[in-house]
């Protein structure tokens, strides 16, 4: 498990306040079997799909929506290493789809 720590300093009414020596915030990133990460967000895929649907035929827009569902599922299951890999695969699948040619 990965653990992240951070000291917090917050000025109050233009005064500088020193944090107590024990003030720490810790985060744990939990991964479950199969690579699933609870902190995933697929918003970037939604935005990409919206951009790709612009000025496309109805058949292509439907294909993009179908491919989007598959790409989101794969991303949430941890099949991509990062956002860039997921985006590249999504674009590749849309380009290969017969409805979008």
Residues 3-31 pLDDT 10s: 444 444 444 455 555 555 666 655 554 44
Is 72 a domain residue? Answer: yes
Contact (CB, 8 A) for 88 and 67: no
Is 89 a domain residue? Answer: yes
> Cα 100 vs. chain centroid, distance in angstroms?
25
- For the chain, give percent helix, strand, coil, nearest 5: 45, 15, 40
Say how many domains are in the chain. 1
Is 96 a domain residue? Answer: yes
Structure tokens at 46: 């939604």
Alpha carbons 97 and 79: distance in angstroms, whole number: 21
Domain containing 63: what range?
Answer: 43-100
Is 13 a domain residue? Answer: no
Is 1 a domain residue? Answer: no
Is 93 a domain residue? Answer: yes
pLDDT in tens, 77-89: 999 989 999 999 9
């Amino acid at each position: 498990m990965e653990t992240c720590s951070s000291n917090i300093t917050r000025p109050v009414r233009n005064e500088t306040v020193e944090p107590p020596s024990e003030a720490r915030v810790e985060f744990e990133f939990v991964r479950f079997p199969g690579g699933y990460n609870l902190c995933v967000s697929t918003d970037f895929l939604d935005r990409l799909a919206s951009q790709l649907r612009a000025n496309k035929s109805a058949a292509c827009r439907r294909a993009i929506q179908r491919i989007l569902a598959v790409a989101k599922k794969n991303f949430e299951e941890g099949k991509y290493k990062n956002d860039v890999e997921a985006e590249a695969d999504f674009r590749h699948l849309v380009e290969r789809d017969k409805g979008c040619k």
